[in-house]
Amino acid sequence: MNILLIYPEFPDTFWSFKHALKFIRKKSSSPPLGLLTIAAMLPATWQKRLVDMNVESLKNSDIEWADMIFVSAMVVQRRSAEEVIALAKQLGKTVVAGGPLFTMEPDAFPLVDHLILNEGEITLPMFLADLGQGKARRVYQTDQYAEITVTPIPLWELIDFKKYDSMSLQYSRGCPFACDFCNVTALLGHKMRLKGTQQFIDELDSLYQRGWRRNVFIVDDNFIGNKRRLKEDFLPALIEWRKGKQGCLFLTEASINLSDDDELIDMMVRAGFTQVFIGIETPDDTSLTECGKSQNRNRDLAGAVKKLQSLGLQVMGGFIVGFDSDDRHTFDRQIEFIQKSGIVTAMVGLLQAPTGTGLYQRMLREGRLKEEGYSGDNVDGETNIVPMMPAATLKNGYRKILDTIYSAKSYTERVMTFLKTYNPARHPVTLEAQEVLALFRSAWQIGVRGNKGERKEYWRLFFWSLFKHTRKFPLAITFSIYGYHFRKVNQLHVSGAS
């Protein structure tokens, strides 16, 4: 049987890094880990191809080759997923779909022949067994959580490594916290489920042996959900694995309480972690209480961020505006916090209520859900809830935040604040030719072709970092390129589109 696995296209968002990746001639940040893992769970005798629409075009001939189409997507990929499904059905193909988008909204996709919902380790074998007997049902779902110790190594041979900036691996699923706007626990539960340490090392080895030396994104929603296992087993093994190896530095997601554990921070840095995404959301304790973000309350958030930076971890931050307790001063407080903390990669979105979350249920009870639904897009300037503050005030305040923090001057000042604090570990890395060329491309695109403000700030950061923080100069150039991307997205899709 010929199986075509399709990953729909992401819209142009802050998280896509689309405009930044062009400087290093990459097409996408990372490959579709879920589909690569599902591919490894399909019968070995089946012929498999994967089309990631974020790095290549989907052609009719691709679909015509296949006996069955497998589609996986997140909510933000909805429009592209709908187009893929419609095309596949038009060409007479059987469509199988799974992943967060379909698990959250199974009734929204009547054209799909078979819905493989929840976690594939449980529901995919059920489907395959029925398919083999010629009696496959339309919907396969479960209220159980999978043992991910049985999850296979992704089928890496289906992708072209050269098109991606980083690879993705997973160590754990779940999160012990209960933020009411987050659908992680609705999909994956509160209990942390972990892969075996050797299992993860084998997956990492499978990348290294194929020549991968760039970043590896450990996609756990809260990597530090089980600190004891990390300290006693996982991180010591990772530290040992890294000995004598080049590249393969790690980034992941964690909660802010990581800053409370110096030993854990030190072990992560020695294991090769350089970046961590943290959901800051807001510096307002009242709003944090409202959304159940207890781990962020009653602490010096800016101080926690700076501590992580000083100990060797770059902090990427998620921020939200639109809580019921937010007021007209919220926007200035967010700007002040972001600038003061030195979080360069600051992703700000409007509060949305994903299906299945506590926030969604509350908005449903209060009659405050909009008909258009949850988009999952952090730059569309829309929300699926009726906010307490006037909608125009919220939208204008949101645009003010983005226009300020991504302006060339404010952004450069934030990079400088960060570089003054950041104390990176020395890890052996492999520098690619495209990364060297990116320096010259950035000088031309931003330092020469940019507008007056961009040109001025590019060269200010260039010479300041070159002479005062020479070891961090490459990172300063990387951030200059990120800033170009952020300004481009803001101009095209938020501020300029209003």
Per-residue pLDDT, 495: 77
Per-residue pLDDT, 376: 81
Q: Which residues of 240-258 are buried (b: 16+ CB within 10 A; e: fewer)?
A: ebbeeeebbbbbbbbbbbb
Secondary-structure percent of the chain, ordered helix, strand, coil, rounded to 5: 50, 15, 40
Per-residue pLDDT, 381: 75
- CB-count burial class (<10 Å; 0-12, 13-18, 19+) for 135: exposed
- Residue spans of alpha helices (H) in 319-386: 330-341, 358-365
Per-residue pLDDT, 498: 53
- Whether residue 274 contacts residue 250, with contact meaning beta carbons closer than 8 Å, is answered with yes
Distance of CA 351 to the CA centre of its chain: 17
CA distance 88 to 83: 9
Q: What residues form DSSP beta bridges with 94?
A: 68
CA distance 152 to 33: 11
Question: Fold for domain 2-140?
Answer: Rossmann fold (3.40.50)
Per-residue pLDDT, 496: 67
Each residue's pLDDT tens digit in the chain (498 positions)?
Answer: 999 999 999 999 999 999 999 999 999 999 999 999 999 999 999 999 999 999 999 999 999 999 999 999 999 999 999 999 999 999 999 999 999 999 999 999 999 999 999 999 999 999 999 999 999 999 999 999 999 999 999 999 999 999 999 999 999 999 999 999 999 998 999 999 999 999 999 999 999 999 999 999 999 999 999 999 999 999 999 999 999 898 999 999 999 999 999 999 999 999 999 999 999 999 999 999 999 999 999 999 999 999 999 999 999 999 999 999 999 999 999 999 999 999 999 999 999 999 999 999 999 999 999 988 888 876 677 899 999 999 999 999 999 999 999 999 999 999 999 999 999 999 887 778 999 999 999 999 999 999 999 999 999 999 999 999 999 999 999 999 999 999 999 999 887 665
Distance of CA 182 to the CA centre of its chain: 14
Right CATH for 165-421 from 3.30.360.10, 3.20.20.70, 3.40.50.300, 3.40.190.10: 3.20.20.70
Q: What is the pTM of this model?
A: 0.95
What number of other Cβ atoms are within 10 A of residue 263's Cβ?
A: 10
Per-residue pLDDT, 370: 93
CA distance 89 to 104: 22
Per-residue pLDDT, 497: 60
- CB-count burial class (<10 Å; 0-12, 13-18, 19+) for 456: middle
Distance of CA 372 to the CA centre of its chain: 24
Per-residue pLDDT, 378: 62
Per-residue pLDDT, 413: 98
Segments making up each domain of the chain, as ranges: 2-140, 165-421, 433-494
- Whether residue 192 contacts residue 176, with contact meaning beta carbons closer than 8 Å, is answered with yes
- Whether residue 163 contacts residue 210, with contact meaning beta carbons closer than 8 Å, is answered with no
